[in-house]
Structure 1
Amino acid sequence: MLYGETPNPLYERAVRSHRLHNERWNYPMFVLREQIAGGYWNKPSYLMSLIVQELAKPKSERLEWLMWVDADLILINPSIPVSVFLPPTHLFPDVHFLGNRDQNGLNTGTFFLHVHEWSVKMLAKAIAFPMYRTEIDLGVSMDQEAMAHVFNDTTPYVPKTSQDWDRLHEAENELDVKERTKRRNLRSSVGGTNGEILYQPRVWYNTYEWHHAYEGKKGNLLVHFPGLEDDRWRHMSDWLDVVENTPTKWDVPLEQTMYPDEVKDYYTGLAEASKTLKQADELAKAHENEADQREAVQYLKDQAEELRTLLHFGSDRMKSMKEKVEHVKTLFPNEGT
């Protein structure tokens, strides 16, 4: 998105870094240069228009995914194809959103949207959110907060940060069975959590530049400048000088970066969590009417529900998910016993 009476040369240079990357990998590029909605609502409105245009084409001619990138992100490693982050369709056919979160929750500086009717409906809800949920203050980043609320619209509380997850886990350990069941039923009704949304490690493609340093390392895809206020322009200028004057400095071949191994481990872990969750559900159902197994079955259900919550809301917390998978597996009977 680049519009306004006075062009911003730093944003124009940042966009050029993406244009060169797109030309290298033969990706089409779309830049909004005129306002089509008020303020922050330009982003979801423009995205919805692009997806609708693609859906109007024959399926064989459509793009499959769109990657949104704010104007204050600079592409620093053009050797990384963004397709490396996309889910294997044979394992995750229903995933339509790939995004990331920081200490404040969802960050929509960059994310992936599947060209699918689900994306149209989600964006429509986000755009309409301030009209049908007038009691909610969306703050400054209204489109971002609206999207976060849409993802979690029907539940009273969904953890946003690592600290929130820790507090939730501690609190739930103190709940009685009745209250845990109540919360489980609430979470199972949350809109948009049937595998459509995946959160990924933020540093993969939303790596931040802080006031004091860059949080990434050589080989990272890009650099983002949120929260720097007026200091943003100096940092952007310094990075753009590096990218334009010494383009090979941060250019690292894909196979020499952390991406292939980390992305593979991520999707392998999610697949294993899904498989374990299915097994747990089937085992609990098979033994739920056995009086002598009632307590064990209830504990299995509770642990499976914690895994389900991680899978649907915390897929970027891979260490916690792997630990929960291993614990749930210990509740399965050994074969042959």
Structure 2
Amino acid sequence: MLIHGIHRTKPAKAVLVLLLLCFVWAWLSNVQGVRLTDDLIPGRHHVDKSTKHTGKLRSRVGKVTVAANKLASDVIHRALLSHERHNARHGYVHYIAEHQAVSGLIEHDRLHRAKGAWTKPAYLLSIIVAELEKPEEERLEWIYWFDADTLVMNTETPLEVFLPPANSSALSEVDLLITTNWDGLNSGVFALRVSPWSVSLLSAVLAYPIYEAPRTQKDRFRDQSAFQFLLENGESPLANVPMKGRDRWVKVPMRWFNSLPVNNAFFKNGTWIFGKNMTKAMFDNGTTEVFDDGHGGKVNPWKVMQGDLVVHFAGSSNVRDSWMEPWVERAEANLPEWNNATTKYLLKEEAAEFWKKTEEQLVIDKAKSKIEEEQKKKAQKEREKKEKKEKEEKDKAEKERLEQVRIEKEQKAKDAAEKKIATAEKKRLDAENKAIQKHDKKLAKEKVQEQKASARAQKAALAKQTATQLITDTARSHPANKTAVASVSTATQLTPSSASR
């Protein structure tokens, strides 16, 4: 990459510059332990030889940047050289990725913007995981993410000056420092503690396009929108923990390490300032005098001022060279009003006061959160107790209902059995009665028949007696008719058998 920094010069001068740069490269690589090439592999042991030059250990703070696709340009390279000067001054290792590392599974973009945005959390995640795999005494403690379009203006300011005090127990779990502007959180520059929480956060950011795919169709940004959702949205998984995770991250002043070269993002008519080439009037001199953008002269807290560590050209991708070239030349000029040690001491005081107030507020917030959590737990216990009682009463009522159902069912079955028995008994009695009635009818019929037969017999006997009497009387009165009497006598003797039939 250093070869790209050599502009059109005479051959002899070019050779001299090349030799000088080679010497500087060798010296920095062996003495300061600063990464000047962009192919550092996460997890590979990085030899630190800074003690040979400074007599102290290499900084426990590092940097990470992605300079892929459209960011692989000359002006970006010159901006990264400003970081290398800063790294050399303070002993920072700087991991720089030049290639896109994420597939289309999450790299889709509704606006068809250049790919590479999601390589940022992926690469940063890989670095932090690799650091966590090292022995604690060897690993980095903090890592600053810097977008490739950031330019170090004041190499004298160390990154350590912005970190929360290590001796503060209240701030010991603060793992993220991030800035805000008119768009909310700005993820162009932020600091992450090398910790498991940071791994979880970056994993969630990286997976955001998958588990929140519908949101990505409406988001204005990519990884920045993911950070915004995870850290501040009530539907975020982080909202389900005490304090909604706000004890793990802090909004810090934007001018600490993420200043912008504009006082307002838009002109009064709504036009995006970074959408136009920078003019001489827009080239901010780093004072309270501001470019007349139609909003008046109020200086906003993100506007770059002389002595600020970094200027960030966020959103200027289409006209980036126009904006960055003059600023890069200014940084390379090493002007004392911009690159000075005085600001470092002022920042120490400012940061100390900031963290003191933050610590006090965090202690109050944690106390409130603890009370709220206890109240929630108490309320939860009461709810659980109430629900348990209601469940017990419900179970008891259900048990009684089931017992009543069982009793009713048994009674019903008993009644049905008794009814069945009664029905069978009734049928049996009815059958017996019917048989008796039939028998009685038969007897009555037989009696009637006997009575009829007896009557006929009596009638026949009477007839016989009458006939006999008649014959006797006839014989007595007509002796001459004995033959006729004999015939009648024979007839009367046959009559009883005929009658019996």
Structure 1 and Structure 2 fold alike (TM over 0.5): yes
Q: CA deviation at 1:73?
A: 0.7
Query: Residue 80 of structure 1 aligns to which amino acid in structure 2?
Result: T
Q: CA deviation at 1:248?
A: 3.5
Residue 27 of structure 1 is matched in structure 2 by 92
Alignment match of 1:150 (pick from 222, 230, 248): 230
Q: Residue 35 of structure 1: SS of its match in structure 2?
A: coil
Residue 201 of structure 1 is matched in structure 2 by 253
Structure 2 residue 157 is the aligned partner of structure 1 residue 85: no
Residues 205-214 or 253-262, more deviating: 253-262
Alignment match of 1:57 (pick from 130, 134, 141): 134
CA contact (8 A) 1:10 1:237 kept: yes
CA contact (8 A) 2:158 2:344 kept: no
Q: Residue 89 of structure 1: SS of its match in structure 2?
A: coil
Alignment match of 2:324 (pick from 219, 236, 240): 236
Whole-Å separation in 1 of the counterparts to 2:332 and 2:67: 20
Deviation readout 1:246-270 (Å, 9 max, x if unpaired): 4444111145664122211111101
Whole-Å separation in 1 of the counterparts to 2:83 and 2:185: 23
Alignment match of 2:145 (pick from 35, 44, 68): 68
Q: CA deviation at 1:187?
A: 6.5
Q: Residue 197 of structure 2: SS of its match in structure 1?
A: helix
Structure 2 residue 205 is the aligned partner of structure 1 residue 126: yes
- Structure 1: where are the runs of 5+ without partners? 158-185, 287-337
Alignment match of 1:272 (pick from 352, 357, 360): 360
Distance 1:279 1:107, change over 3 A: closer
Deviation readout 1:281-324 (Å, 9 max, x if unpaired): 789999xxxxxxxxxxxxxxxxxxxxxxxxxxxxxxxxxxxxxx
Whole-Å separation in 1 of the counterparts to 2:179 and 2:363: 24
Residue 32 of structure 2 is matched in structure 1 by none
Query: Residue 80 of structure 2 aligns to which amino acid in structure 1?
Result: V
Distance 1:261 1:281, change over 3 A: same
Distance 1:261 1:188, change over 3 A: farther
Whole-Å separation in 2 of the counterparts to 1:123 and 1:283: 30
Distance 1:219 1:255, change over 3 A: closer
Distance 1:78 1:135, change over 3 A: same
Aligned Cα RMSD in Å?
Answer: 2.9
Whole-Å separation in 1 of the counterparts to 2:76 and 2:70: 14
Deviation readout 1:105-149 (Å, 9 max, x if unpaired): 111110001111111111111111121122213535211111221
Whole-Å separation in 1 of the counterparts to 2:165 and 2:324: 34
Higher helix fraction: Structure 1 or Structure 2?
A: 2
CA contact (8 A) 2:71 2:148 kept: no
Residue 106 of structure 1 is matched in structure 2 by 185
Whole-Å separation in 1 of the counterparts to 2:365 and 2:71: 54
Residue 418 of structure 2 is matched in structure 1 by none
Residues 87-96 or 131-140, more deviating: 131-140
CA contact (8 A) 1:152 1:191 kept: no
CA contact (8 A) 1:14 1:240 kept: yes
Distance 1:285 1:261, change over 3 A: same
Query: Residue 131 of structure 2 aligns to which amino acid in structure 1?
Result: E
TM-score if structure 1 supplies the norm length?
0.69
CA contact (8 A) 1:151 1:191 kept: no
Deviation readout 1:197-250 (Å, 9 max, x if unpaired): 111011111100125335222211011112345443222100111111344441
1:244-323 to structure 2, matched below 5 A, reads 244-254=332-342, 258-277=346-365
Q: Residue 131 of structure 1: SS of its match in structure 2?
A: helix
Q: Residue 111 of structure 1: SS of its match in structure 2?
A: strand
CA contact (8 A) 2:259 2:310 kept: yes
TM-score if structure 2 supplies the norm length?
0.47
Residue 4 of structure 1 is matched in structure 2 by 69
Q: Residue 81 of structure 2: SS of its match in structure 1?
A: helix
Residue 18 of structure 1 is matched in structure 2 by 83
The size of the alignment, in residue pairs, is 258
Larger Rg: 2
CA contact (8 A) 2:243 2:366 kept: no
Distance 1:125 1:284, change over 3 A: closer
Whole-Å separation in 1 of the counterparts to 2:320 and 2:227: 25
Give the share of equivalent positions with the same residue, in percent.
29
Residue 388 of structure 2 is matched in structure 1 by none
Whole-Å separation in 1 of the counterparts to 2:249 and 2:306: 29
Distance 1:127 1:246, change over 3 A: closer
CA contact (8 A) 2:242 2:373 kept: no
Q: Residue 245 of structure 2: SS of its match in structure 1?
A: coil
- Structure 2: where are the runs of 5+ without partners? 1-65, 108-114, 263-272, 274-281, 287-302, 375-501
